[in-house]
Amino acid sequence: MTLVPNNSLITETPEQGRELALAIARKTIGAIQPDASVRQVLRAGYATDADSLVAAGHVVAIEFATIAAANNYWRDN
């Protein structure tokens, strides 16, 4: 299983960095719970729970912060 697409956190733009953060967060959940049918059952519970959604957003924010730092906050090329 590839957890970091293209084995790199380097992106050309912050938008691409945000997309990468979302992809990594999704892959992390898939790695933690590899059974897609179980994830589907669980989705109904967290999709309507504000605390769960905030927690998911926090995971993406941490991933994005890591990617932003790896990109020196998108220095000029």
> Where exactly are the structural domains of the chain?
36-77
Helices (H), 1-77: 14-32, 36-47, 50-70
Tokens describing residue 23 = 């992809």
- Over residues 29-68, the pLDDT tens digits come to 999 999 999 999 999 999 999 999 999 999 999 999 999 9
Q: What is the pTM assigned to this prediction?
A: 0.82
pLDDT on residue 77: 56
DSSP annotation of 72 reads T
Q: Which residue has the higher pLDDT, 20 or 3?
A: 20
